[in-house]
A and B are shown apart, each in its own frame.
Chain A
Amino acid sequence: MLSEKEPIEVSDSAKFHLLEFAKWSKVSFYLIMSLISSAIVFIIFGLKPMLNVIKENKDEMELEIDASVLNLLDNNSNIFYITIIFVLVVLGIIAFLITRLLFKSAKNIQLSFKNNDDSYLLEGMNYLKLYLMISAILSGIGIFFTLITFLIK
């Protein structure tokens, strides 16, 4: 039984690594957020000029462009851009919600050390558990679709 186990003293090195983990988790969260926002800005302002440049110079650039991409380049309608922006925004919101769990975990770990209160640490660990659980489910779904496309081709 887990509840019958003796309590383990948290060593100084474990505390140090936990605090470092929390620090890097926060950095990671801020980076993901800036990456998502810059990707959205890039798609809104940069995709159309980039596709136009590729379309005009596809012979000079000697690019081996797939027929479906060429078709998209020829008919680069607004629906195409709006769809890409919409998908990116939805993915961004999902990524924000997931990484927010990591951020909350880091915040609670730091608070537990600041206030010398291990209930914050427990809350932080619960958020970390949730983050890992959702990451596992999402990467499982990702692998499933990769395998499906791989097997179909």
Chain B
Amino acid sequence: MENLSNNKMQFDFRFYQTLMSIVQWSKIVGILGIADGIISLMKAIVIDKSAIAVAVIQLILYGVLYGYLYWGGQQLGKGLNNQDPSLVGEGFSGFKVYMQIQTVILMLAALVIVLAFLFITILTIVKA
């Protein structure tokens, strides 16, 4: 943190346009992500009831993931409009948490692939 204090940075007029676009697009991605989770759950309820459990887990994960992205965008927008540096910081913390959760989800997906590989290898050895 000491090193960061030495680094004098400010968001001037050059940044505003880009940051406001980030605010808008992060909110849109957030809403679409949550909507995707809800539609998947509805689809599972109506078409395939056996997929409800997976759809609920997906909705929870998407809700948290995209919820943070939406919240981050909202706080950043408020910070820029009210010229409040602490709200801008909160906005970036939302983006950070979004990326952390995405990383965890990707790690889980990688784990599933590794387990599938193991399953096939074991099955092939057993069958041989």
Contact = CB atoms under 8 A, between A and B. Distances in A.
Interface string B107-119: 1011001101100
A53 interface: yes
A122 interface: yes
12 contacts: A3-B13, A14-B89, A28-B103, A31-B106, A32-B106, A46-B120, A113-B4, A125-B15, A133-B21, A136-B25, A139-B33, A146-B43
A20 B92 CA distance: 9
Given A113-B7, A118-B9, A118-B10, 4 more contacts: A2-B16, A11-B86, A129-B22, A153-B47
Classify the interface of chain B: helix, strand, loop or mixed.
Answer: helix
Nearest to B124: A49
A62 interface: no
Interface residues of B, number: 61
Interface of B: 1, 4-5, 7-22, 25-26, 28-29, 32-33, 35-36, 39-40, 42-43, 46-47, 79-80, 83-86, 88-89, 92-93, 95-96, 99-100, 102-103, 106-107, 109-110, 113-114, 116-117, 120, 123-124, 127
A17 interface: yes
